[in-house]
Amino acid sequence: MPPISAADTAGASDLAPKRLTLNAEVIACGLPGTLMPGWAKGAYVERPCFGETGGVPEGLRVVGAYDDQQLADLIAYINSTFRKNFQE
């Protein structure tokens, strides 16, 4: 993922969230090529990640702690607790 550029925040408060929804797939599946691990049970194996179930990409850590309901609860918690401008 590219670094934040001036274009991402142009015209908006620097403190405004860049998007209204967290990327649930990134939380579930992690970001291959980065330290961001996947949190979904069975990610890349039983649960498709980015459309594939071909196995965990090399170097990516899958924590595999959460089922779908727990991931939804985690995202709701982050949004309501840390993202003051978030609207459901």
Positions touching ligand HEM (CB under 6 A) are 1, 22-23, 26-27, 31, 34-37, 39
**Nearest by Cα to 8 from 17, 33, 87, 31:** 17
Question: Smallest distance from the beta carbon of 31 to ligand HEM, in angstroms?
Answer: 5
Identify the CA nearest to 73 among candidates 19, 24, 31, 17: 24
Whole-angstrom distance, CA of residue 64 vs CA of residue 30: 10
How far apart are CB 46 and ligand HEM at their closest, in Å? 20
Give the nearer residue to ligand HEM in terms of CB position, either 22 or 45.
22
Residue 63 phi, psi dihedral angles, 5° rounding = -70, -40
| Token pair recorded at residue 55 | 């196995």
Instruction: Give me the least distance between CB of 1 and ligand HEM, in Å please.
Output: 3
